[in-house]
Chain A
Amino acid sequence: MIGIVNYGAGNIFSLTSALDRLDLPYGMINEEADLDKYTHIIIPGVGHAGTAMKKLDQTGLVAPIKALKKPVLGICVGMQLLTQHSEEGDADMMSIVPVKTRLFNKDQGIKIPHMGWNNITHKNNPLFEGVKNLTQFYFVHSYFIEYNPTFDIATAEYGMPFSAAVQKDNFYGVQFHPEKSGAAGERLLKNFSNLKH
């Protein structure tokens, strides 16, 4: 069963609706003891990464999350929380994946936020099982995770290549919103629920 880290960063109605549509049961994680109740953990997140990190810190869940050995999926800002540092609020993140979250550079002639459907090239990670390469996912973000070949499992291009998805051990992160990415996004959520570590 999936546990959703409930730390007050953004609305999770769309995520729980997607899980309902997929018949994937879930519950909420409010404190450390709740982490034991679930096999798979989702860290959602919308809004400001620095603020989100502060809120997560206040729940006391950072250290227990870092110690997890079960599959964890960070979505959007939830993914950025897995990184070392974010330029948004110049804030230290959880440092699970040693990469940085940076602001898109508008001097590259791109509009910010990066909003809409963009295609991804993935590296046959189980998270993307059954998802064709160059499938589009729905993105909406102004900060991105720098491309690092060691942790990148899916790449998108916006002004430059960036990581649409990363993995380190049992920790996964996706920059797009699977809950808003049509059938492909639903497939990804289903794949996550089937991951074993």
Chain B
Amino acid sequence: MLSKRIIPCLDVKDGRTVKGVNFVDLKDAGDPVELAWQYAQQGADELVFLDITATHERRGTTIEMVKSVARQLNIPFTIGGGITSVADAEALLNSGADKISINSAAVRNPALISDLAKAFGVQFVVVAVDTKFVEGRNMVHLNGGRLITELETEDWILHAESLGAGEILLTSMDHDGTKNGFDCLLLDKIARSINIPVIASGGAGRMEHFTEVFLQTGVDAALAASVFHFGEIPIPVLKEELKKHNIPVRL
């Protein structure tokens, strides 16, 4: 049976992990390679790196980081942030990234999804969508939720699937940072409406939030950052808990 995936998300800038990470045994919390390796040891099923490097000139450091991670890591990983062209994506693929994630670049230029899918296969293309509930509708947002678009979330995701997205990473900006649980209603609606895997993101605070999202929705994976980075939810403990609820996990 296909396991539900647990995915820690790491923010990286200029090739270094940012945001405080509180692991025992970690010599350098800013070293994405060591951090990634630790997560793999803990039983993370996959990792997502979100590159928040501000300038295009510094992208070279990201490529070097991806290579270092790929050399050490024996589980798949995705890299997102700043990818606006097939050439950007190809450089990351050749450096060992398993998937790339595109967000605002896909909204501004939807053809990028089909171009990437044609060039590298749909399994390589994750479309990340930030959604916020506005006046009774779920609307796609850009710039971390600050900029509303004219796209309704459900419509955009269907469109992205038809263009060749291989997976959807859906972040509820209303739930993100609240630690009050995932947006199960929307996630279930989306997971039922499309035929590609969905990663739930935004709102994880306690272990039962993961149980909820897997029992109440058809999502394939759940992503979180701070609850993992600060050791609030150790991944092995989380997986045992999910298993108790008969949720298929990799132990």
Contact = CB atoms under 8 A, between A and B. Distances in A.
B75 A180 contact: yes
A14 interface: yes
- Most chain B CB within a 10 A radius of its CB, from A115, A179, A181, A182: A115
A118 B1 contact: yes
A111 interface: yes
B96 A17 contact: yes
Nearest to A115: B197
B196 A112 contact: yes
B186 interface: no
B220 interface: yes
A134 B67 CA distance: 31
A78 to B, nearest CB: 14
B1 A183 contact: no
Interface string A124-156: 000000000000101011100000000000000
Interface string B196-208: 1100000000000
B9 interface: no
Contacts of B96: 11, 13-14, 17
Interface in A35-77: 46-48
Interface residues of A, number: 35
Contacts of A98: none
Given A141-B123, A180-B75, A182-B40, A13 B94 contact: yes
Given A17-B96, A158-B2, A111 B250 contact: no
Contacts, number: 86
Interface residues on B, range: 20 to 34
Contacts of B45: 116-117
B234 interface: no
B197 A17 contact: no
Interface string B60-87: 0000000100111011100000000000
**What DSSP secondary structure best describes chain A's contact surface?**
mixed
B3 interface: yes
Interface string B85-128: 00000000111101000000000000000000000111100000
**What DSSP secondary structure best describes chain B's contact surface?**
loop
- Most chain B CB within a 10 A radius of its CB, from A46, A117, A142: A117
Contacts of B166: 113, 115
Interface string B114-146: 000000111100000000000000000000000
Contacts of B229: none
A165 to B, nearest CB: 17
Given A112-B195, A182-B40, A14 B250 contact: no
B1 A46 contact: no
Interface of B: 1-3, 5, 40, 45-46, 67, 70-72, 74-76, 93-96, 98, 120-123, 166-167, 195-197, 220-221, 250
19 contacts: A11-B96, A13-B70, A13-B94, A17-B72, A20-B71, A47-B120, A111-B220, A112-B195, A113-B166, A115-B166, A116-B2, A116-B3, A116-B197, A118-B1, A119-B1, A138-B75, A140-B123, A182-B74, A182-B75
Interface of A: 11, 13-14, 17-18, 20-21, 46-48, 106, 111-119, 136, 138, 140-142, 157-158, 177, 179-183, 185-186
